[in-house]
Structure 1
Amino acid sequence: MSGKHYPEGVLIGRARVPGQQHPALVTVRDGVLFDITAKGMATVRDVAESGRAAEHVRTAPGRELGDADAVVANSVAGKTDSSQPSLLSPIDLQAIKASGVTFVVSLLERVIEEQARGDKAKADSLRGEILGLIGTDLSELVPGSDTAMKVKAALIERGVWSQYLEVGIGPDAEIFTKGQPMSSVGYGAEVGLHPVSSWNNPEPEVALLVTSKGEIIGATLGNDVNLRDVEGRSALLLGKAKDNNASASLGPFVRLFDGGFTLDTVKTAEIALRVEGEDGFVLDGHSNMAQISRTPESLVAATIGSHHQYPDGLVLYLGTMFAPVKDRDGAGKGFTHKLGDTVSISSEALGTLVNRVNLSTQCPPWTYGASHLLRDLAKADLL
């Protein structure tokens, strides 16, 4: 990995550059950040839809913006010098979609959330009880298979069937809208918790960059911030639990597929999570994408196809196996965020995404949308 926060490879991202209104398209070459914004290739969407994204980013003329590590360091909220470039989310006009309950551990925890009705004090006892009732290793189940349907029937008979088990082992994947185009935040930004929540956690994930034709052309890291108590009260509150100001983080860059980095690399990627609190609390975790229960291709196919089109493409969070249960404030109290937590999500193939936790009402409001981007690009004669 070059530096601490980004890997080698064909990288594309976006940056705020002093003296210009529109975000710049950027890449890293030999440790230097380059602005490769060009007429007709002024958005990540344009590059992705070109059919030659990696080749374009690798060969496009560019203007040096400075040392890439320095720009990364300047992107941290509260430490940003506005006279210097800083990173933004590495996507722009793409829809922001997410898949849920794609790992066995998160499947179990979603069932617990539902059964506990958002009460984290009940979670430990429920965890043991539900594992006993299942009586099988869910990691061996193929979603939608005959064996999975038999487990479903047995759970219904025992009175513990859950909507989360339905999407975890049933034929249909859970796909939802995580946020609107242009609403995601990037490396160093604050991530937001809705102030009604008292039980929440990070969800470290790989997110795929997908074209309007359904082609997967790259990947990045993401934090699908989750409110466990809100979603646990009712799955109908998924929108409130998932889509809030600054609740979708991506970055630091999208790494585009080329000869040395492919979807197979993503499928075996190791993902690490570290939460560091101002109270001295530290949480570490690791997962492997090889443990996902549905293939990335099948999740993309469930999202885009003849049943649903995305003219500007999409980014798809692939789900997480992390559901932190480490006690934070005493035995049996489990994990929840505290304001000021620093969340680091890392992978050798994709770099490190770092964000600081705040209330969504206290994070910078989302004010720059698709209309603003297009107006600014038009003023700069880049469309």
Structure 2
Amino acid sequence: MPDDADAVLVGRAWSPAARGPSVVVVRGDELVDVTQTFPTVRDLCEQEDPAAAARDASGPVLGDVADVLANTATVVRTDERPWLLAPVDLQVLKAAGVTFTASMVERVIEERAGGDHREAARVRRELAAAALGADISRIVPGSAEATRVKEYLTEHGLWSQYLEVGIGPDAEIFTKGPVLSAVGTGAAVGVLADSSWNNPEPEVALVIQSSGRAVGATLGNDVNLRDIEGRSALLLGRAKDNNASCALGPFIRLFDDAFTMDDVRTMSVQLEIRGTDGFRLEGVSAMEEIARDPEDLVSQLVGRHHQYPDGVVLMLGTMFAPVVDRDLAGGGFTHRLGDVVTISAAPLGALVNVVDHSEECPPWTFGVRDLMTALADRGVL
């Protein structure tokens, strides 16, 4: 849970009694079911002041936070008791890529290595020798200096489509997955069985209402299949959008006087990976090092050029691109089945998932029609 007891936290939990998801607000040690007032998280986030609306909402207690969290992990879940889901519902799932210099350089390496993790080590040495990244980290995307760097790198055969979105005027923003397809904390998170080079991407995700105003934040894992994307950027959909490949949670922390966009800008996101083989890896993404301001990314996503009537979630990108060797020298990092991935930030809590093949993760079966049917059966639509 977040380190601030006054945090306004909202989310979703599966209610066995209602045979569907409930919108919940954390109140002390309890989860309060506010579905009668706000049938969807989207409805709550569309309020003029979502944090105040969440504080004022009333309803029955669904369960103790600790008990619901304990029942959330897939391996110990009891279907007769509530468990947490991804904290968003009707919002579109989007992600921004190449927003940190460290990950931008790694995307260049993926591309030049053609998705081959063995070749990546050689390319990494080549680019380090060319000092790629040393000066780019200080460049403002879309600036005159960025244009000059582009011309220089093009001249020397080092320009890449990833540098285009990293320091060019337009951000890379893509659809991470369909509405309702995200998994929550405690769930299995998926990588394709035929991927041999992949990693988690720990990120802050903004929750944005239809007006284009960000109203809160949560944690996200934008799982990435580096070998598939490295073969061709046109395979981004296959690399990014698979069963259980998007994790969000545990809750949305709504913006209020105690938690604002400035807190997002200065947040540190920690990553820990623990393998069944005894492997352990830790990393940190410092939001202060992001190349594009979160508000700029939001404005590139929502505006007169594109609307989202039910709101949108935007993962802001990560600087984490692990290069530590897990198995063979020069082989870099890739997931193994059973890896426990913990993404945490003091103001947002922790998102914990266990890695499995997407093909073996519980299939996504509860769609928009099912949600509408469940809410209609409860008489809240």
TM-score range, shorter chain: over 0.9
Aligned to 2:88: 91
Q: Quick one: distance in 1 between partners of 2:268 and 2:130? A: 31
| Long gaps (5+) in structure 2 | none
Aligned to 1:253: 251
Aligned to 2:324: 326
Q: CA deviation at 1:134?
A: 4.5
Residue deviations 1:131-179, cap 9 Å, x none?
Answer: 3324542111000111111111111111111000000011110010000
Check whether the contact 2:2–2:346 (CA below 8 A) recurs between aligned residues: no
Q: CA deviation at 1:333?
A: 1.2
Q: Quick one: distance in 1 between partners of 2:356 and 2:186? A: 12
Q: CA deviation at 1:7?
A: 6.2
Check whether the contact 1:7–1:351 (CA below 8 A) recurs between aligned residues: no
Alpha-carbon RMSD: 1.2
Check whether the contact 1:74–1:81 (CA below 8 A) recurs between aligned residues: yes
Which of residues 80, 105, 110 is equivalent to 1:113? 110
Which amino acid in structure 1 is aligned with residue 301 of structure 2?
T
How many positions carry a matched residue from both structures? 380
Check whether the contact 1:7–1:350 (CA below 8 A) recurs between aligned residues: no
Residue deviations 1:217-246, cap 9 Å, x none?
Answer: 000000000000000000000000000011
Q: CA deviation at 1:2?
A: 5.6
Aligned to 2:27: 29
Which of residues 347, 356, 359 is equivalent to 1:358? 356
Residue deviations 1:284-327, cap 9 Å, x none?
Answer: 01121010000001101111111111110000000000001111
Which amino acid in structure 2 is aligned with residue 112 of structure 1?
I
Check whether the contact 1:211–1:313 (CA below 8 A) recurs between aligned residues: yes
Question: How does the TM-score come out when normalised to structure 2?
Answer: 0.97
Residue deviations 1:17-43, cap 9 Å, x none?
Answer: 12112201111111211111114x110
Q: Quick one: distance in 1 between partners of 2:256 and 2:341? A: 29
Question: How does the TM-score come out when normalised to structure 1?
Answer: 0.97
Which of residues 66, 69, 72 is equivalent to 2:69? 72
Q: Quick one: distance in 2 between partners of 1:328 and 1:272? A: 19
| Pairing 1:262-281 to 2, within 5 Å after superposition | 262-281=260-279
Which amino acid in structure 2 is aligned with residue 363 of structure 1?
C
Q: Which shifted more, 286-295 or 14-23?
A: 14-23
2:22 is the counterpart of 1:19 = no
Q: Quick one: distance in 2 between partners of 1:189 and 1:160? A: 40
SS in 1 for 2:74: coil
Q: CA deviation at 1:63?
A: 1.3
2:338 is the counterpart of 1:340 = yes
2:121 is the counterpart of 1:124 = yes
Q: Quick one: distance in 2 between partners of 1:79 and 1:107? A: 38
Check whether the contact 1:134–1:155 (CA below 8 A) recurs between aligned residues: no
Q: Quick one: distance in 2 between partners of 1:70 and 1:378? A: 28
Q: Quick one: distance in 2 between partners of 1:93 and 1:214? A: 15
Q: Quick one: distance in 2 between partners of 1:8 and 1:227? A: 38
Residue deviations 1:90-130, cap 9 Å, x none?
Answer: 00000000000000000000000000001111112211211
Q: Percent identity among equivalent residues? A: 56
Q: Quick one: distance in 1 between partners of 2:289 and 2:31? A: 35
Q: Quick one: distance in 1 between partners of 2:322 and 2:163? A: 19
Which of residues 346, 349, 360 is equivalent to 2:347? 349
| Pairing 1:1-383 to 2, within 5 Å after superposition | 8-39=6-37, 41-134=38-131, 136-383=134-381
Q: Quick one: distance in 1 between partners of 2:99 and 2:71? A: 35
SS in 1 for 2:23: strand
Which amino acid in structure 2 is aligned with residue 9 of structure 1?
A
| Long gaps (5+) in structure 1 | none
